[in-house]
Structure formats: structure tokens, C-alpha cells
């Protein structure tokens, strides 16, 4: 099982320089992958490309780019460029996004998100696999009057979706290479998420999907203080129906209930529970919440588990 981390260098003097330093530290700790979130700030495919090029051997990815406010042509160009820069070590993560950010930020109606995801994935796969597209859907058009190839990029960038609901899981199983569930505990994975996406992939004649479980957690001795910080940090997700549902399916009431906070033994046992629930890869996010010492302590543990 691959073990990686999500890198967050937003609270630094230079996010690009800091991201490269963190990627170097992650690789030195034995971690196999580094993932970058997408907000309204830094461009995550560029961050992944820069960090991946600076740290040979480290797999890099985005988790995840919302399909609203983007177009398959531009996202394919970003993904292929990042893949060429890293010589095939880039993984593209997509997301449905949220009503709050889509309508509040882009001024776009958050309508038919799964239908948009399906069309986005269909057009995107044409572009990343062939460098051309001729897709005309209800919601999107993607055509290439001139080629959209990036020399040096292998055909077929791995595409994963931050899917957790039944319809999104079905679309992801049929059209993507895997999923990036966040705040979905082992119970939700084993009983709901993994069976649904696996069945959809099988029905579509696709290989077994990758299950890249994003876990919010850290190794620390100051469990109560860190849990209090995490409660505040994760409260935003409780307002989003898809996250609220998966937290409940995981057996929790608050988002923090899905976090993994404790000593090395506690965290290692939870990582194994994710593996047993069907996760093919585990990526820890939020490891910076308790400071550098606990972050490095967490990375050392995760690196040993990856080995």
C-alpha cells in the first residue's frame, strides 16, 4: 500500500519554495507521494509539477480541481504539462466542488454536478489519451481544431475523483481510474464507497479502481489540544451535504470524528484499518496542525509504514 501526504505551505513567505522543501522532506522520510489541494490561490498542477521535478521519484498529484469554473481543454493542458515535467509521475484529481464556492466564487449555478462530471471526464480522457477531442454534450463542448498534445507526456494521465456519493461513485467507476475520498472512515469505505465504485468499474469493464483515502491526522502526545484545533479546522465540511453524509456513515457526528490523532501505535492501527477497508493508498492531510516537530514525527511513522 502506498502512503503519502498532502502538502500545505500557504502559511509561508513563498508557497512555491516552501512546497519544494516539504516535498524533499516527505521523500526523505520515505513517503511515496505528495498531493496539493486546489483553492482560489496557487495553481495545484503547477505546484505538483515544480515539486515533482525537484524531487525525482516522488509521485505528485492534485486533490482536487473542481469541474465547475474549469474546462477540459485547459485542465488537460495543465495535467499533460505536469506529467511531462515529472516524466509520468503526475496524478490528476477532480472534484464536484460545492454550491457555496461555485456560486459564491464563480457566479455559476451549481446545477447537475454529476452530469457535468460525466461530460468533463469523457472529454478529458479523449484529450489526455489522444491529444484531440470532438465532444459535444449537453453542458460542455470540447473540440480541437488544432492538436492539444504536449510532447513528453505519456498517453493517459491517471485521473481520480473526490467522489463519495452514489451517483459520483458510479460515474467515477465508469470513467475514472479511482477516487479520492476525504473524511470517509474505514466503515464508510468498506460498507458503502469501495463496493459501489468497484461494482461500477466492473460493470464498465474497467480495472479495479484505486482508492486513495485522504485522512486528516497527526501523531502527537497533545491529543486534546490538537483535536480542539482540528474541530475548528474541519467544521466547514459539516455544512456540505456529501461530507456530512460520509461522516455519519463512518460512525461520527462531527468532522473531527473522522480524524486520526494519537501516538504512533494509534495512528499505525488506523492506517491498517483503512487498508483493510479497501484503501489502496492512504494520504495524510493536516499534519502541520500540531507544528513541525509532530509533522515530522508523523511523516517518519508514515514513511516506515510505506516501506
Question: Region 31-57: what's the mean pLDDT?
Answer: 96
Instruction: Tell me the pLDDT tens digit for each residue of 216-254.
Output: 999 999 999 999 999 999 999 999 999 999 999 999 999
Share of the chain above pLDDT 70, in %: 100
Question: Are 112 and 186 in the same domain?
Answer: no
Range scoring the smallest mean pLDDT among 23-32, 93-102, 256-265: 93-102
pTM for the predicted model, two decimal places: 0.95
Question: Are 208 and 65 in the same domain?
Answer: no
Q: Answer whether residue 170 is part of any domain.
A: no
Question: Are 1 and 144 in the same domain?
Answer: yes
Last residue of a domain, one of 128, 161, 194: 161
Share of the chain above pLDDT 90, in %: 94
CB-CB contact of 184 with 114 (8 Å): no
**Cα separations (Å) of 274 from 60, 113, 270, 288?**
21, 28, 6, 21
What is the pLDDT, as a whole number, of residue 1?
53
Q: Which residues pair with 2 in a beta bridge?
A: 281
Question: Are 201 and 156 in the same domain?
Answer: no
282's grid cell: 492512504
Counting the structural domains of the chain, the total is 2
Residue 289 is part of a domain; what is its CATH number? 3.20.20.30
Give the contacts of 169 (CB within 8 A, at least 6 positions apart): 163, 179, 193, 196, 197, 200
Q: Answer whether residue 5 is part of any domain.
A: yes
Question: Are 55 and 126 in the same domain?
Answer: yes
Q: Which residues pair with 65 in a beta bridge?
A: 94
Last residue of a domain, one of 127, 161, 195: 161
CB-CB contact of 249 with 188 (8 Å): yes
Residue positions counted in the chain: 307
- In the block, cell 502506498 appears at 2
Q: Answer whether residue 93 is part of any domain.
A: yes
Question: Are 1 and 28 in the same domain?
Answer: yes
Strand, coil or helix: 242: helix
Q: Answer whether residue 67 is part of any domain.
A: yes
Q: Answer whether residue 128 is part of any domain.
A: yes
pLDDT above 90 for 128:
yes
Question: Region 103-115: what's the mean pLDDT?
Answer: 93
Question: Region 135-161: what's the mean pLDDT?
Answer: 93
- Greatest extent of the chain over all pairs of C-alpha atoms, in Å: 59
Of 285, 243, 259, 216, residue with least CA distance to 61:
285
Question: Are 39 and 119 in the same domain?
Answer: yes
String of b and e for 283-306 (b: at least 16 CB within 10 Å)? bbbbbbbbeeebbebbbbbbbebb
Last residue of a domain, one of 161, 188, 223: 161
Question: Are 240 and 109 in the same domain?
Answer: no
Instruction: Tell me the pLDDT tens digit for each residue of 50-60.
Output: 999 999 999 99
End-to-end CA separation in angstroms for the chain: 9
CB-CB contact of 90 with 128 (8 Å): no
Question: Are 186 and 146 in the same domain?
Answer: no
Q: Answer whether residue 168 is part of any domain.
A: no
What is the pLDDT, as a whole number, of residue 103?
87
Give the contacts of 220 (CB within 8 A, at least 6 positions apart): 226, 261, 262, 263, 290, 294, 297, 298
What is the pLDDT, as a whole number, of residue 100?
86
Q: Answer whether residue 302 is part of any domain.
A: yes
What domain range is 5 assigned to?
1-161
Instruction: Tell me the pLDDT tens digit for each residue of 156-209.
Output: 899 999 999 999 999 999 999 999 999 999 999 999 999 999 999 999 999 999
Question: Are 216 and 95 in the same domain?
Answer: no
Question: Are 44 and 110 in the same domain?
Answer: yes
Question: Are 139 and 184 in the same domain?
Answer: no
**Cα separations (Å) of 119 from 69, 71, 135, 208, 221?**
14, 10, 8, 22, 47
Mean predicted lDDT score pLDDT of the chain = 96
Amino acid at each position: 500500500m502506498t502512503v503519502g501526504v498532502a502538502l500545505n505551505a500557504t502559511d509561508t513567505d513563498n508557497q512555491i519554495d516552501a512546497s519544494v522543501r516539504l516535498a524533499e522532506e516527505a521523500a526523505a522520510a520515505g513517503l511515496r507521494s505528495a498531493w496539493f489541494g486546489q483553492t482560489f490561490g496557487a495553481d495545484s498542477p503547477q505546484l505538483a509539477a515544480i515539486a515533482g521535478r525537484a524531487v525525482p521519484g516522488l509521485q505528485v498529484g492534485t486533490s482536487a480541481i473542481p469541474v465547475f469554473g474549469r474546462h477540459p481543454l485547459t485542465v488537460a493542458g495543465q495535467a499533460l504539462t505536469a506529467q511531462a515535467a515529472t516524466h509520468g509521475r503526475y496524478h490528476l484529481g477532480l472534484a464536484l466542488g460545492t454550491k457555496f464556492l461555485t456560486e459564491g466564487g464563480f457566479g455559476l449555478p451549481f446545477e447537475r454536478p454529476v452530469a457535468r462530471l460525466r461530460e468533463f471526464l469523457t472529454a478529458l480522457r479523449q484529450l489526455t489519451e489522444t491529444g484531440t477531442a470532438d465532444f459535444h454534450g449537453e453542458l460542455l463542448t470540447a473540440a480541437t481544431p488544432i492538436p492539444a498534445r504536449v510532447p513528453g507526456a505519456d498517453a493517459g494521465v491517471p485521473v481520480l475523483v473526490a467522489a463519495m456519493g452514489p451517483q459520483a461513485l458510479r460515474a467515477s467507476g465508469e470513467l475514472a481510474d479511482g477516487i479520492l475520498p476525504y473524511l470517509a472512515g474505514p466503515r464508510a469505505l468498506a460498507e458503502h464507497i469501495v463496493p459501489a465504485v468497484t461494482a461500477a468499474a466492473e460493470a464498465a469493464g474497467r480495472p479495479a479502481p484505486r482508492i486513495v483515502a485522504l485522512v486528516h491526522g497527526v501523531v502527537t502526545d497533545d491529543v486534546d489540544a490538537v483535536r480542539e484545533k482540528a474541530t475548528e479546522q474541519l467544521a466547514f465540511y459539516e455544512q456540505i451535504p456529501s461530507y456530512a453524509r460520509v461522516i455519519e456513515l463512518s460512525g461520527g457526528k462531527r468532522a473531527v470524528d473522522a480524524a486520526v490523532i494519537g501516538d504512533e501505535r494509534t495512528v499505525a492501527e488506523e492506517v491498517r484499518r483503512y487498508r483493510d477497508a479497501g484503501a489502496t493508498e492512504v494520504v495524510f492531510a493536516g499534519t502541520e496542525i500540531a507544528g513541525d516537530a509532530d509533522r515530522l514525527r508523523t511523516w517518519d511513522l508514515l514513511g516506515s509504514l510505506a516501506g
